[in-house]
Amino acid sequence: ADVVFVDQSPIGKSARSNPASYVGAWGAIRNLFARTQLAAERGYTPGTFSFNAGDGRCPACTGSGFEHVEMQFLSDVYLRCAECDGKRFRPEVLEVRLEAGCSIAEVLAMTVSEAIAQFAAHREVIAMLAPLVDVGLDYLALGQPVPTLSGGEAQRLKLAGHLAEAGARRKGAKGALFVFDEPTTGLHFEDIARLLGAFDKLLAAGHSLLVIEHN
């Protein structure tokens, strides 16, 4: 049904995109915060816990957590927002905590493996974070800006996104042909084994793979 080229080119330039949003887990996490008792009492919705829009984000940095300073002859500088201390949200929104005691900013600071332990009882969140583990990106922070990833990490994040889509794909739908350009570059042998496992999942979902590889 489609041909998808997965290489090591950067995934856009938006610093607001992160691993959690890329695989679709961020929406499910925001829903959990919106269902807490304090959020219900205050009339908060999932949109309140968005750092891209709405009234819940820090007004000074508009939810980015930093101030972007353009330098004329040097690389641009990113300074932590003095208003929210890089936490992206208003203080009253940070008062809302899940049953385990974490705020929305603390969830963004968690690594993927820490988040999987935190949300073990929430199958929807786990299902969306699992592809990040499958491709060996469990050490990334959920809120890490996508432009800061290396080429290899960007390629594996793209693969994780496709794995998340494959998990939600209806049976009988036509598969895609995935073309991977040297996906093992810079990977440890254990990571290569994980990568092959991720490839097997794509195949099991009915897709085809063409892998260009010198390893």
| Gap between the Cα atoms of 18 and 59, Å rounded | 20
Q: What pLDDT, in 10s, does the model give residues 175-197? A: 889 999 888 887 888 888 888 99
Nearest residue to 20 via CA among 151, 111, 122: 111
- Euclidean distance between the first and the last CA atom of the chain, given in angstroms as a whole number: 29
| Gap between the Cα atoms of 26 and 150, Å rounded | 22
Q: What pLDDT, in 10s, does the model give residues 25-80? A: 999 999 999 999 999 999 999 999 999 888 899 999 999 888 877 777 877 777 88
| Gap between the Cα atoms of 68 and 79, Å rounded | 7
The pTM is what? 0.81
